[in-house]
């Protein structure tokens, strides 16, 4: 089988082509732009062909969303680099901040991809899906829980608060990304959103780790 042969009756690797085409469409117009017909059209194939690889339109969207989720993981990883401080507590704190910064930066940079990544909102199992792992082999949710686990190991956070801390962090960052991307803040200038996001993330982390490099929350 010759991969990428578009001349033959059979495509070669239509599933990958549909995912790629769907991701391009999502970047442009979010999850709603990932229409089954538009995706097959862009892949040079008839609409019904998609049903050989995806059970429904929704499954195609979810698969494209998993790709976007992997890019979200990569954005977080990129914002976690350079945390080479000597103090492990500082490093752990910076890694948690990197999760928030990377999450918000991805939403602001690629609102369409962010939209489909959180489309339909995945279940708890999807939070560990291999397709959604970044370059370090971890999903965005795992990167968050890893950072919090480090804080617990260092004694900076009571272990009993790990789960609810993860939910609070995720809620705050996700809420901000939503408001800034498709909410009332969507018309605000980008630099202002960056500053607001950075302050929100740092305020949240300060609140989680009381007495540690406190800065104002707000």
Name the binder of 183 from its own copies, DNA, none, CB < 5-8 A by kind. its own copies
Provide, rounded to whole angstroms, the least separation between the CB of residue 1 and its own copies: 38
Tokens for 109?
A: 């940079």
Q: Give the chain's end-to-end CA distance (angstroms, integer).
A: 58
**Does the protein bind its own copies through residue 105 (CB under 8 A)?**
no
Provide, rounded to whole angstroms, the least separation between the CB of residue 65 and its own copies: 13
CA distance 134 to 71: 7
**Does the protein bind DNA through residue 76 (CB under 7 A)?**
no
CA distance 188 to 141: 28
Q: Are 77 and 135 in contact (CB under 8 A)?
A: yes
Could you list the beta-strand ranges (E) of the chain: none
**Does the protein bind DNA through residue 37 (CB under 7 A)?**
yes
Region of 1-9, 74-82, 128-136, 181-189 interacting with DNA (CB under 7 A):
1-9
**Does the protein bind its own copies through residue 116 (CB under 8 A)?**
no
Nearer to DNA by Cβ, of 56 and 215: the residue is 56
Tokens for 198?
A: 């950075």
Provide, rounded to whole angstroms, the least separation between the CB of residue 136 and its own copies: 21
Helix, strand, coil shares, percent, the chain, to 5: 70, 0, 30
Nearer to DNA by Cβ, of 58 and 109: the residue is 58
**Does the protein bind its own copies through residue 196 (CB under 8 A)?**
yes
Please calculate the CA angle 172-174-177 and round it to the nearest 5 degrees. Answer: 110
**Does the protein bind its own copies through residue 199 (CB under 8 A)?**
yes
**Does the protein bind its own copies through residue 184 (CB under 8 A)?**
yes
**117: Cβ–Cβ under 8 A, 6 or more apart, which residues?**
65, 68, 69, 71, 72
Name the binder of 58 from DNA, its own copies, none, CB < 5-8 A by kind. DNA
Judged by the rule CB under 7 A, the positions of this chain that interact with DNA are 1-2, 8-12, 14, 35-38, 40, 45-49, 51-53, 56-58
């Amino acid at each position: 089988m010759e991969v990428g042969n578009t001349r033959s009756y059979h495509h070669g690797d239509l599933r990958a082509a549909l995912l790629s085409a769907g991701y391009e469409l999502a970047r442009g117009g979010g999850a709603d732009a990932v229409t089954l017909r538009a995706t097959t059209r862009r892949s040079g194939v008839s609409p019904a062909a998609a049903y050989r690889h995806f059970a429904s339109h929704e499954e195609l969207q979810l698969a494209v969303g998993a790709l976007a989720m992997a890019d979200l993981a990569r954005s977080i990883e990129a914002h976690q680099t350079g945390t080479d401080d000597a103090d492990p507590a500082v490093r752990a704190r910076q890694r948690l901040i990197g999760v928030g910064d990377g999450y918000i930066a991805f939403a602001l940079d690629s609102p369409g991809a962010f939209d489909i990544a959180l489309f339909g909102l995945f279940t708890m199992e999807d939070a560990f899906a291999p397709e959604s792992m970044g370059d370090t082999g971890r999903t965005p949710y795992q990167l968050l829980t890893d950072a919090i686990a480090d804080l617990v190991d260092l004694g900076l956070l009571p272990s009993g608060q790990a789960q609810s801390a993860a939910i609070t962090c995720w809620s705050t960052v996700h809420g901000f990304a939503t408001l800034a991307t498709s909410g009332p803040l969507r018309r605000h200038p980008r630099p202002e959103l960056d500053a607001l996001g950075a302050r929100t993330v740092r305020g949240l982390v300060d609140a989680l780790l009381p007495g540690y490099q406190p800065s104002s929350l707000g």
